[in-house]
Amino acid sequence: MVISFYYGGRLVGHITTSCTEGCRISLSQPSGHGEKLYAPDALEHVRFPSADAIQNDRQKQITRKLFGHLERGVLLHGNKQGIFIKRLCQGRVFWSGNTVVYKDRPNKLDRDEVVKIFDTNLFFRELQQYYNNQGRFPDSRVMLCFGEEFPDAVPLRCKLILVQVEQLCVRQVVEEAGKTCSSSPMLPIADETQHDQVYRIFQDICGTHQRPLFRENQQIAV
């Protein structure tokens, strides 16, 4: 997964995870016991960037105060089915992704509940519709907003802590798809060669790296 951190709309950190079991985004190093997703290997630990990167003193102060409620963070896991998350922290976490229940109001993650926040198959169905001139290009990103309701009327640049998550293989497909499309803002006419190329790229990237399927009802030890 590709994870980007934004404080007050400004990019302050960027990382590509490498652990197949997923990662934990938090402020401090996990205690080491019971903090696994579903397999024996430990999760990769991704730290929130320091608030020192924030230039505005008031924003820095509020962000540090918010950090006090995000100590345990969230668990993330990505596989061919999609991206799954579990909120551990006390602080509220809101999100947007292609599996949201409500598109016109904030979506909150319940604590200790596993939620599928991105559906890879849905993305590729919508991508196919786009190439058939039947819709918009689908968004491959998931946004997590810590401590503030999201999405709402407040501009993204005003949000204290935003974390963008994207599957690496899907991002690569999106980049390749962009190369095959013209720079025109109009939707491209469906072309079988382009269509096949996009899906071949996906298969080339992900096909040889199969991961165990993640069961949504599977318990995650905390």
> Which stretches does DSSP call E strand in the chain?
2-7, 10-16, 23-26, 44-47, 74-79, 82-87, 93-96, 114-119, 141-146, 161-166
**Whole-model pTM?**
0.77
Contact 146, 160 (CB under 8 A): yes
Q: What is the pLDDT of residues 83-96, one digit of tens each?
A: 999 999 999 999 99
Q: What is the pLDDT of residues 59-79, one digit of tens each?
A: 999 999 999 999 999 999 999
Q: How many whole angstroms separate alpha carbon 175 and alpha carbon 196?
A: 15
- Average pLDDT of the segment spanning 211-222: 34
Q: Tell how strand 23-26 and strand 44-47 pair up.
A: parallel
What ranges in the chain are assigned the alpha helix state H?
A: 57-67, 120-131, 168-180, 192-206
CATH number of 2-206: 2.60.200.10
The pLDDT score that the predictor gives to residue 30 is: 61
In terms of Cβ atoms closer than 10 Å to its own Cβ (0-12, 13-18, 19+), residue 22 is buried
Distance from chain centroid for Cα 209: 20
The neighbour count for residue 118, using CB atoms within 10 Å, is 25
Q: What is the pLDDT of residues 12-50, one digit of tens each?
A: 999 999 887 899 999 976 655 445 444 435 689 999 999
Q: How many whole angstroms separate alpha carbon 125 and alpha carbon 114?
A: 24
Domain spans of the chain, in order of start = 2-206
